[in-house]
Amino acid sequence: MQEVHARSACKKCLQEVPARSACKKCKYLQNSPAAKISPTCSGAAWQYRGASLLEELTATCSLAALPPLQHVTWTFNNTGESVRISQDLISVEGSNSTVRYTPLTELDYGSLLCWGTNAVGKQRVPCGIQVFPAGRPDPPDECEQLNFSVSAVTVSCKAGFDGGLRQNFTLELYEEHGTDMITNVTNEVIIPSLLIKFLI
């Protein structure tokens, strides 16, 4: 019974900290048959990525496995077909596998599925990345001025939908009465908070 509980703790630790050396219970039980675990997703089982046509994206599948991974397989699925991705486009480093994928037509949007295999066996339920057409981002919302002085101003906003791609946020500062721009600043953050320093 203690070994079963230890195995459960080992699996939880592997999912949270994929590096096996960081899991003391796994190190203690690594030679025990009861502690061996077939690959599972580490973290979120599904991710969502936007991509434009002819744009290469890299998708990463994080796995937990004991003993370590021996092989990783990627496939692409849409409503009409399932295609195995060439190993030339796949790399494996430790418990992470990365695939390079480029949608060439509208039919190339769908699901990238990742399976790991180790000495115990093949992963039962794959990890997935849903690839969809990238679009223009929605504008920021709920912007508020957090700080204002003679030399700086800080504005914080709630990010809108990113369109499936990483987005930049730009803040432009204009004269109160006029169309002349004083300065601007650009930032790459999930929750935009931009600071402008200026001289008056």
Banded model confidence at residue 30, pLDDT cuts 50, 70, 90: low
Element (H, E) at 187: strand 181-187
Q: Which residue has the higher pLDDT, 195 or 78?
A: 78
Tell me the C-alpha distance between 57 and 54, whole Å: 9
Q: In the sheet where 37-41 sits, what is the strand order? A: 37-41, 57-66, 96-101, 90-93
Structure tokens, 84 = 């195995």
| Beta carbons within 10 angstroms of residue 108's beta carbon | 17
Banded model confidence at residue 179, pLDDT cuts 50, 70, 90: confident
Predicted TM-score of the model (pTM): 0.62
Banded model confidence at residue 86, pLDDT cuts 50, 70, 90: very high
Mean pLDDT of the region 107-111:
95
Tell me the C-alpha distance between 97 and 86, whole Å: 13
